Amino acid sequence: MFVFTGYGIITLLIGFASLVGFGVSLKNEFILQYLNSAEASSVICCIAAWVNARIGIFVNSKPGRILIDPKTMQQVELKERHTFFWLPMEYWSFVPILLGVFLSYNNIIK
């Protein structure tokens, strides 16, 4: 069973790239002298959300093909959808934003 259609797999790849970014930010002395680990993780989450939203909006806003049904003479639009777990790609951008807010909130409480 496939959980993505079209370019929806890019959402998963962006998620893996952000996990790699988390690991790099926790080991990078240059980043950690300006931001603590929770702030760096929040920034990475926001960047991942922005990239995913821009790609999702771009690929899902392309116009479809208009066809005419010969029996009813009505127009039908054939459009490719780009989804991950049956949600359009751009909707998945809320997940890293919420994760970034959660990390920032936990950092403020401490």
Which range has the top average pLDDT, 2-11, 19-28, 29-38, 101-110?
2-11
CA 5 to chain centre: 14
Mean pLDDT (the chain, rounded): 85
Residue 68's φ and ψ, nearest 5 degrees, are -115, 125
Residue 75 has pLDDT above 60, yes or no: yes
Residue ranges of domains in the chain: 4-109
> What value does the mean pLDDT take over residues 77-96?
89
Total number of residues shown for the chain: 110
Q: Count CB-CB contacts under 10 A for residue 100.
A: 22
Residue 19 has pLDDT above 90, yes or no: no
pLDDT digits (tens, 9 = 90+) for 60-74: 998 889 999 888 889
Rg of the chain (C-alpha set): 19
pLDDT digits (tens, 9 = 90+) for 25-60: 777 777 777 777 777 788 888 899 999 999 999 999
Q: Please, what is the end-to-end C-alpha distance for the chain in angstroms?
A: 43
Residue 1 has pLDDT above 60, yes or no: no
Residue 110 has pLDDT above 70, yes or no: no
Helices 9-27 and 37-60, interaxial angle, to 10°? 160
Residue 108's pLDDT is: 75
